Chains A and B, each alone.
Chain A
Amino acid sequence: MPRLLLFIPLALFGVLILFLWKGLSIDPRELPSALIDKPFPAFKVEALLQPERQLTTADLIGKPILVNVWATWCPSCRQEHNQLLRIAQENKIAIIGLNYKDNRQAATQWLTELGNPYQFNIYDESGMLGLDLGVYGAPETYLLDAQGIVRFRHVGVVTEQTWQELQAIMQSWGANKNV
């Protein structure tokens, strides 16, 4: 028995290594969203392309959607744009744009030039809806379920891998009908 006790430091060292190893693959810039499993914040904001149209939370409810926070001043948004177009083409989920602290003219031009993957865009010029949502930098992508509850947030560029992850989450809902 005392001989076994001699291995305790080694075991503790092993545990330490395990934690440090895990720490290597954690990105400290990626914050967990405070809104997970909470409803999307209430808002009443103009649409980007139709300024006369007032969008509210009701426009986000009914089926699962992706809400993509983007702006023309954000280089990573340009980087993910093609992936968003591909997702839109697959037609498995609707993408709603949240145009964050941007210029309407520049944003409209961006969509004409690069293509428009969004069903509609919320024009959050002041960034106050973004603040309510806990946005700390574009691009961010939120996955909402049919009740408008935030289920997942991705910070940074949406890649093919992110899209696979999102699909896996949506498939887990399919299996579990009460969402």
Chain B
Amino acid sequence: MFRFLLLLMLFSLNSAYAAIDTYEFKDADKQARFHDLVADLRCPKCQNQNLADSNAAIAQDLRQKIYEMLDAERSNSEIIDYMVARYGDFVLYEPRFNSQNAILWLGPFVLLIAGLLVVIFLVRQRSKKNTSEDSSMALDAQQQKSLQKVLNKDKK
């Protein structure tokens, strides 16, 4: 039974990689770039799979296109621009900074700074309050006298 399972796992591994391994590259550099690109680009049809993982027809086409473009000596950024021009920013797993997503990039920092300002404001206000309370706590001469009186009474 264990052997059978092992065998099954072996075969399932093979089929998972089969989709990628049909390409023949001229050199190792292109092969490495191909693997980087298909790992970093997202399949438009799938919700959360990169091109390497997906068996969707469109992912196969895009892999083919990437292979052809690499073969035609295009640079990585040219290939990525090509994909974004057709499928939009959705295909990027490493999103670029632009006006539409600026709030996502900058929002956390804005909130952090706002939070710090609030903390500073509160701390200042509290310490101001404390010092003013201290001065009001201090007894004036009259109060000092009556306090002394009470204390002396206890002693008797």
Where the two chains meet, the residues of A that have a C-beta atom closer than 8 Å to any C-beta of B are: 28-29, 31-35, 101, 127, 131-137
Question: Dominant SS at the A interface?
Answer: loop
Cβ contacts under 8 Å, B86 to chain A: 34-35, 131-134
Distance in angstroms from B114 CB to nearest chain A CB is 12
Cβ contacts under 8 Å, B65 to chain A: 131
Cβ contacts under 8 Å, A101 to chain B: 57
Judging by beta carbons under 8 Å apart, are A31 and B47 in contact? no
Size of the chain B interface, CB-CB below 8 angstroms: 15
Judging by beta carbons under 8 Å apart, are B61 and A131 in contact? yes
Judging by beta carbons under 8 Å apart, are A29 and B90 in contact? no
Judging by beta carbons under 8 Å apart, are A34 and B57 in contact? no
Cα distance A31–B90 in the bound complex, in angstroms:
8
Task: Give 11 CB contacts A-B under 8 Å.
Answer: A34-B85, A127-B57, A131-B61, A131-B62, A131-B65, A134-B44, A134-B86, A136-B58, A137-B45, A137-B56, A137-B58
Cα distance A35–B45 in the bound complex, in angstroms:
17
Judging by beta carbons under 8 Å apart, are B45 and A34 in contact? no
Question: Does B107 make an interface contact (CB < 8 A)?
Answer: no
Question: Does B88 make an interface contact (CB < 8 A)?
Answer: yes
Judging by beta carbons under 8 Å apart, are A136 and B44 in contact? yes
Cα distance A35–B84 in the bound complex, in angstroms:
10
**If A127-B61, A131-B61, A131-B65 touch, does A136 touch B88 (CB 8 Å cutoff)?**
no
Judging by beta carbons under 8 Å apart, are B47 and A34 in contact? no
Cα distance A134–B45 in the bound complex, in angstroms:
11
What are the nearest 5 A-B pairs in CB distance?
Answer: A136-B44, A34-B88, A134-B86, A136-B45, A136-B58
Cα distance A34–B83 in the bound complex, in angstroms:
10
Question: Does B93 make an interface contact (CB < 8 A)?
Answer: no
